[in-house]
Amino acid sequence: MRRYAWEHFGGVFDCEIKQRRLDELQALEATESFWADSQQARALLKEKTQLESVLGLFKSAETRLSDVEALLEMVADSPNEDDLRAVQSEVAELLKNVRAMEVREMLSGPNDAADAIVSINSGAGGTEAQDWAQILLRMYLRYCEQRGWQTSMADMQPGEEAGIKSATFFVRGRDCFGYLSAESGVHRLVRISPFDSNKRRHTSFASVYVYPDIEQDIEIEVLDKDLRVDTYRSGGAGGQKVNKTDSAVRLTHIPTGIVVACQNERSQHQNRAMAMKILKARLYERELENRKAEAKVVEDSKMDIAWGSQIRSYVLHPYRMAKDHRTDHETGDVNAVLDGDLQGFVEKYLMERNKK
C-alpha cells in the first residue's frame, strides 16, 4: 500500500525530489559555515520549512490511504453502518489531504512564500462603499487569524460618516502572499442599505490589492567587473597641505552609469570604501524606484472600482450568495464568507489560475 501511495501520489508531487532537497538542506544547516551568510541562511531555512510542510501533507495522505485500505479489508465480508461511516470519514480526510497538497503545489511563484501587503479602498457608493470597505477589512483580518498569520495595520483612513476610505496592513506567515494574491480585484456588495431610511437596495464596490512584502529581500551586490575605478589627486587650497598623492577615488557603475566620487578621506583606501558605500546606497534607492515602477504598472492596469469590473459579488438581498466571477465558485452561506471563510474561493482560484 505504501509503495502504491509513494508511486501514485509521490510521482505527481515530486516527493522524492523534494525529500532529497530537504536532506541536502538539513545537512547544510548542520555545518559550521551555515550562518556565515545570514541572508542566504534565512532563505534556505524558509525553503526547508516549505519542503517540510509539503512532505508532511504527503505523509499524512499516505497514512490515510493505508488506513482506508485496512478498513476496507475489515468490512469487506460483513459491512455495517458504523464501519461504513468510518470508511467515509477516512476517505473524506484523505481527499482533504490530497486537496491541500494540490493547492500547495500551486504556490510556486517567486513571491508566493513572501509576506504580504494588503490594500483596501472604497469605490463607487459613498458611505455605503466605505462601510463595505470596513466589512472587507474585518473579513480579511478574520481570514488571516484563521490561517494563523500575524497582521499589523500600516494605515487606515476613516470615512466621513461610517466605515473606512482605505486601509493598508501587513500580513506575515507561511505562503500568505501566495494565498492572498487570489483576492486582488474589485468586490461588489448588494444589500438593503442600513443608511437608507427608505430601506432601498444598494450596490457598493471596494477594491482589494495584494503585494508581496519583499523590500527586506533587496540585496545590493557590486561586482568588480561592473566597476570602473579612477584615482586622481584631491583638490585643495594648495600650499604645504596640498595632497600630493592620487588618493581621490571615482567609481563608475557601468551597468547603470551611476558615478560617485570621494576625496575627503585621508587615504585612497578610505575614499574607495566611502565611495562604495555611497554607490550601494544609490543602487539600493534605484532598486526601490524600479519596484515602485513595477507596482505602478500593476496600479495602472487596475479596473475602475465600479460596475462590471468585480471579481466577486456578495449578495444579501433579494437572495443570499457569494460568487466568484473568475471561477464560478459560489456559496449561499454569505455570513460565513464575511466572517473569513475564504479558503474555498482561494483554492478554486489558485487551481484555475495554474491550469492556464
Peptide bond into 110 cis (omega under 30): no
The cell 532563505 sits on which residue? 43
What single-letter DSSP state applies at residue 35?
G
The cell 508566493 sits on which residue? 112
pLDDT the model gives residue 187:
96
What's the Cα-to-Cα distance from 280 to each of 258, 268, 270, 273, rounded to whole Å?
10, 18, 15, 11
Please state the domain extents for the chain.
2-106, 115-217+303-353, 224-295
**Which residue type, as a one-letter code, is found at position 331?**
T
Which element (helix H / strand E) includes 56? helix 38-75
pLDDT the model gives residue 26:
92
Query: Of 326, 332, 334, whose CA–CA distance to 350 is shortest?
Result: 326
Beta bridge mates, 152: 170
- What class has domain 224-295? alpha beta
pLDDT the model gives residue 183:
96
pLDDT the model gives residue 320:
97
Q: With H, G, I as helix, E, B as strand and everything else as coil, classify residue 249.
A: strand
**Which residue type, as a one-letter code, is found at position 209?**
Y
On whether the 115-217+303-353 domain is CATH 3.30.70.1660, my answer is yes
pLDDT the model gives residue 243:
47
**End-to-end Cα distance, the chain:** 34
pLDDT the model gives residue 149:
96
- Angle at 52 (CA atoms; ends 37, 57), nearest 5 degrees: 160
Residues of the chain with pLDDT under 70: 1-13, 214-219, 234-245, 264-265, 295-308, 356
pLDDT the model gives residue 5:
43
Q: Judge contact between 111 and 177, C-beta under 8 A.
A: yes
Does the global pTM surpass 0.85? no
What's the Cα-to-Cα distance from 241 to each of 128, 238, 244, 262, rounded to whole Å?
73, 6, 9, 18
What span, in angstroms and rounded, lies between the C-alpha atoms of 18 and 49? Answer: 12
What single-letter DSSP state applies at residue 198?
T
**pLDDT tens, position by position, 185-244:** 999 999 999 988 888 899 999 999 988 876 555 567 888 899 999 988 765 444 444 445
pLDDT the model gives residue 306:
55
CATH architecture of 2-106: Up-down Bundle (1.20)
pLDDT the model gives residue 353:
81
- Pairing type for strands 150-158 and 164-172 reads antiparallel
The three three-digit cell numbers of residue 21, written as one number: 532537497
pLDDT the model gives residue 178:
92
What span, in angstroms and rounded, lies between the C-alpha atoms of 109 and 177? Answer: 10
Query: Of 13, 189, 173, whose CA–CA distance to 101 is shortest?
Result: 13
What span, in angstroms and rounded, lies between the C-alpha atoms of 315 and 303? Answer: 21
What span, in angstroms and rounded, lies between the C-alpha atoms of 220 and 223? Answer: 10
The three three-digit cell numbers of residue 314, written as one number: 456578495
Instruction: Give Cα 107 distance to the centre of its chain.
Output: 9
The cell 508581496 sits on which residue? 212
**pLDDT tens, position by position, 157-178:** 889 899 999 889 889 998 899 9
- The order of strands in the sheet holding 227-232 is 227-232, 248-253, 258-262
